[in-house]
Amino acid sequence: MVPKQKRDAFRAILKGENVIRPGSVYDPISARIAEDLGFELGLLGGSAASLTILGDPDLLLITLSELAEQARRICRAGNIPVLVDADHGYGNALNVRRTVQELEAAGVAGLTIEDTLLPQAYGQAKPQLISLEEGVGKMKAALGGRLDSSLVIVGRTGAASITNIDDAVARAKAYEAAGVDALFFTGVKTRAELNAIASATTLPIILGTFDGELSDTVFLGIHRVRVANQGHAPIAAATQAVYETLKALREGVSPKELKGLPSTELTHRVMREADVKARSAEVLGLKR
């Protein structure tokens, strides 16, 4: 599937009436597993990318080129559309433009640009936001940077938890007016907050979390939520599995006695061994 087909598939999700839960992916294997399990959308989150690339917390220590390369590896591995957390676009509005160009070339279906002040300002422990005007400039730069109009540009704000819901609504309206394709909100916790957002805007909505009052997918769907994230448990589970396996080996457990390992069938499936063997037989004359 070529990038435009993946982007069109993501746009179909946003134009639909159902709420989907994306699969958190962080490398080619996790993306293939998500695809095989039937997830309609993969999500490369900033924290998962930072942990995969650097093994560091989500403090914006990775670079644009590192993120774009990881996204490229994920996107080439299969057909699942991938939405990438592009943080603040790695700088000012001009950097945002380049971020869009690099991630578009990597094959992503969509990306989010947020209005958080990143990296954190000196002496400021709490998250801060850039001005609404600068946020609008970043959204315009993102839209101006794409070559394929099917690439989904998502305006993201954390104002609901950093300032207040009124600010979140004002920013959402401004980003919608700038021309973004969807709106992403973090920190929205109540039905009243979501109702305020949905009443003031018309675009599809993506939520950073959905629990408590917002766990009802029927309610979410009525209020135009089309994607509801469910965290990044897969990479956490992988970390635990690697820890337990290495710990057992260090303690002298025989490789044949290890628990929790994938079956040979699963391993062959996620590495697409049958396809590789077929190509090898065709172009290298190797027996299947």
Which whole number is the average pLDDT over 184-190?
Answer: 97
> What was the pLDDT predicted at 100?
98
Give the model's confidence band at 286: pLDDT under 50 very low, under 70 low, under 90 confident, else very high.
confident
> What was the pLDDT predicted at 229?
96
pLDDT > 80? residue 287: no
User: What dotted CATH number matches 3-232?
Assistant: 3.20.20.60
Q: Which of 74, 76, 88 is nearest to 23 (CA)?
A: 74
| b/e map 22-39, b = 16+ CB within 10 Å | bbbbbbbbbbbbbbeeeb
- The pLDDT tens digits of the residues spanning 40-88 come to 999 999 999 999 999 999 999 999 999 999 999 999 999 999 999 999 9
Report the C-alpha gap between 2 and 106 in whole angstroms. 11
> What was the pLDDT predicted at 220?
97
Q: Is the peptide bond before 119 cis (omega within 30 degrees of 0)?
A: yes
Q: In which residue ranges of the chain is CATH 3.20.20.60 found?
A: 3-232
| Cα-based distances in Å from 135 to 29, 49, 132, 243, 264 | 35, 23, 5, 41, 49
> What was the pLDDT predicted at 211?
87
Which whole number is the average pLDDT over 149-154?
Answer: 98
Q: If you average pLDDT over every residue of the chain, what do you get?
A: 96
Give the model's confidence band at 288: pLDDT under 50 very low, under 70 low, under 90 confident, else very high.
low
Tokens of 158: 């954390």
pLDDT > 70? residue 166: yes
> What was the pLDDT predicted at 44?
98
